[in-house]
Amino acid sequence: MIRVPALAAIALSLAGTGGLHAQTDPVRTLVTQPTLNFFGLPGLMDMPSAGAMPDGTLGFTVAHFANQTRGTLSFQVLPRVTATFRYAGVEGFNPEPGPGGVNQTLPDGEYFFDRSFDIHWLALEEGGWWPAIAIGIRDIAGTGVYGSEYIVATRHFGANDQLAVTAGIGWGRLGERSPLGAPFGERPALDFGEGGTVSFDQFFRGDAAPFGGIEWQATDRLRLQVEYSSDLYTREIADGIIEIDSPVNFGATYQLGRNATIGAHYLYGNTFGVSLSLVIDPRAPAADSLTTSAPNPVAPRPRQSQPYGTDWVAQPDGPAILRDNVARLMEEEGLELVGLALDQRRAVLRVRNTRYQYESMALGRALRVLSITMPHSVEVFEIVFVVEGMDVSRVRLNRSDIEALEHAPGGADALLARAVVEDPLRARDPELIEIMEPGRRFTWGVSPYVETALFDPETPIRGDIGIRAEARYVLGGGFVADGEVRARIAGNLDEQRLVNPPIASPTAPYPVRTDAYRYNQESDARVERLTLTHYGRPATNLYSRVTLGYLERMYAGVSGELLWRPVDSRLGLGVEVNHVWQRDFDGGFGLQDYSITMGHVSAYYQIGEDFEAQLDVGRYLAGDLGATLRLERVFENGWRVGAFATFTDVDFDDFGEGSFDKGITLDIPLGWTAGNSTRENLAATVRPVLRDGGATLNIDGRLNPLVTDYHQPRLEDTRGMVWR
For the ranges 70-79, 96-105, 708-717, the maximum mean pLDDT occurs at 70-79
Confidence of residue 388 (pLDDT cuts 50, 70, 90): very high
Confidence of residue 94 (pLDDT cuts 50, 70, 90): confident
**DSSP one-letter code for 232:** -
3-state class of 85 per DSSP?
A: strand
3-state class of 710 per DSSP?
A: helix
Q: What is the pLDDT of residue 5?
A: 43
- Within 8 A by CB and 6+ apart from 49, the residues are 34, 35, 37, 42, 43, 134, 152, 154, 164, 166, 213, 215
Q: Return the ∠ at Cα 300 (arms to 297 and 302), rounded to 5°.
A: 150
Residue 370 has pLDDT above 90, yes or no: yes
Confidence of residue 313 (pLDDT cuts 50, 70, 90): confident
Give the pLDDT confidence of 346-357 residue by residue, as tens digits. 999 999 998 888
Q: What is the pLDDT of residue 514?
A: 84
Q: Is 195 left (phi over 0), alpha (psi -120 to 50) or beta?
A: left
Percent above pLDDT 70 for the chain: 88
Q: What is the pLDDT of residue 646?
A: 92
Give the pLDDT confidence of 615-643 residue by residue, as tens digits. 999 999 999 999 999 999 998 878 899 99
Q: What is the pLDDT of residue 13?
A: 45
Q: What is the pLDDT of residue 656?
A: 59
Helix and strand totals (H; E) in the chain? 12, 31
Q: What is the pLDDT of residue 80?
A: 95
Mean pLDDT of 472-481: 92
**DSSP one-letter code for 191:** -
Residue type, 10: I
- Within 8 A by CB and 6+ apart from 24, the residues are 220
Residue type, 463: G
| Torsion 139-181-242-74 (CA) sign | positive
Identical fold for domains 21-280 and 317-437, yes or no, is no
What's the chain's length in residues? 724
Q: What is the pLDDT of residue 657?
A: 58
Residue 341 has pLDDT above 80, yes or no: yes
Confidence of residue 470 (pLDDT cuts 50, 70, 90): very high
Residue 464 has pLDDT above 80, yes or no: yes
Q: Would you kindly state where each structural domain of the chain is located, as residue ranges?
A: 21-280, 317-437, 442-713
Residue 434 has pLDDT above 70, yes or no: no
Task: Measure the CA–CA gap between 714 and 393, rounded to whole angstroms.
Answer: 11
Give the pLDDT confidence of 119-178 residue by residue, as tens digits. 999 999 998 889 999 999 999 877 788 999 999 999 999 888 899 999 999 999 999 999
Task: Measure the CA–CA gap between 6 and 538, rounded to whole angstroms.
Answer: 36
Task: Measure the CA–CA gap between 357 and 637, rounded to whole angstroms.
Answer: 7
Task: Measure the CA–CA gap between 621 and 510, rounded to whole angstroms.
Answer: 9
Give the pLDDT confidence of 2-52 residue by residue, as tens digits. 444 444 444 444 444 444 443 444 445 666 789 999 999 999 999 999 999
Give the pLDDT confidence of 232-252 residue by residue, as tens digits. 999 899 888 999 999 999 999
Residue 571: exposed, middle, or buried by beta-carbon count in 10 A (0-12, 13-18, 19+)?
A: exposed
Residue 629: exposed, middle, or buried by beta-carbon count in 10 A (0-12, 13-18, 19+)?
A: middle
- Residue 487: phi and psi, rounded to 5, are -135, 125
Nearest to 82 by CA among 126, 47, 52, 60: 52
Fold category of 317-437 in CATH: GMP Synthetase; Chain A, domain 3 (3.30.300)
Confidence of residue 318 (pLDDT cuts 50, 70, 90): confident
Looking only at Cα atoms, what is the longest distance across the chain? 99
Q: What is the 3-state secondary structure (H, E, C) of 676-694?
A: CCCCCEEEEEECCCCCCCC
Residue 115 has pLDDT above 80, yes or no: yes
Task: Measure the CA–CA gap between 423 and 405, rounded to whole angstroms.
Answer: 25
Q: What is the pLDDT of residue 2?
A: 41
Nearest to 526 by CA among 548, 505, 554, 503: 554
Mean pLDDT of 498-506: 55
Residue 503 has pLDDT above 70, yes or no: no
Q: What is the pLDDT of residue 11?
A: 46
- Of 508-512, 534-538, 570-574, 654-658, which gets the smallest average pLDDT? 654-658
Percent above pLDDT 90 for the chain: 56
Task: Measure the CA–CA gap between 207 and 186, rounded to whole angstroms.
Answer: 7
Residue 195 has pLDDT above 70, yes or no: no
| Torsion 383-384-387-392 (CA) sign | positive
Angle between helices 318-332 and 359-373 (to 10 degrees): 150
Cα 397–chain centre separation: 34
Q: What is the pLDDT of residue 175?
A: 95
Q: What is the pLDDT of residue 596?
A: 97
Mean pLDDT of 563-586: 96
Q: What is the pLDDT of residue 498?
A: 55
Helix, strand, coil % in the chain, rounded to nearest 5: 15, 40, 40
Nearest to 50 by CA among 30, 22, 70, 29: 30
Task: Measure the CA–CA gap between 111 and 109, rounded to whole angstroms.
Answer: 7
- Residue 325: phi and psi, rounded to 5, are -65, -45
Confidence of residue 435 (pLDDT cuts 50, 70, 90): low
Q: What is the pLDDT of residue 98?
A: 52
Mean pLDDT of 53-57: 93
Residue 573: exposed, middle, or buried by beta-carbon count in 10 A (0-12, 13-18, 19+)?
A: middle
Task: Measure the CA–CA gap between 638 and 355, rounded to whole angstroms.
Answer: 13
By DSSP bridging, strand 209-217 and strand 222-228 are antiparallel
Which pTM was predicted? 0.87
Q: What is the pLDDT of residue 477?
A: 87
End-to-end CA distance of the chain: 40
| Torsion 25-28-33-34 (CA) sign | positive
Task: Measure the CA–CA gap between 393 and 711, rounded to whole angstroms.
Answer: 6
Give the pLDDT confidence of 529-546 residue by residue, as tens digits. 999 999 999 999 999 999
Q: What is the 3-state secondary structure (H, E, C) of 238-283?
A: HCCCCCCCCCEEEEEEEEECCCEEEEEEEECCCEEEEEEEEEECCC
Task: Tell me which of 610 and 381 has the higher pLDDT.
Answer: 381
Candidates 2.60.40.420, 1.10.10.10, 2.40.160.40, 3.40.50.1100; CATH matching 21-280: 2.40.160.40
Q: Which residues of 308-321 are buried (b: 16+ CB within 10 A; e: fewer)?
A: eeeebeeeeeebee
* CA dist 554 → 51, 536, 580, 592, 618 (Å): 45, 27, 10, 10, 20
* CA dist 20 → 23, 55, 295, 421, 651 (Å): 9, 12, 29, 36, 44
Residue 724 has pLDDT above 90, yes or no: no
- Residue 687: phi and psi, rounded to 5, are -115, 130
Nearest to 486 by CA among 472, 471, 469: 469
Segments of 538-609 assigned E as strands: 542-550, 555-564, 571-583, 591-607
3-state class of 61 per DSSP?
A: strand
Mean pLDDT of 652-676: 74
Task: Tell me which of 292 and 250 has the higher pLDDT.
Answer: 250
Task: Measure the CA–CA gap between 551 and 562, rounded to whole angstroms.
Answer: 18
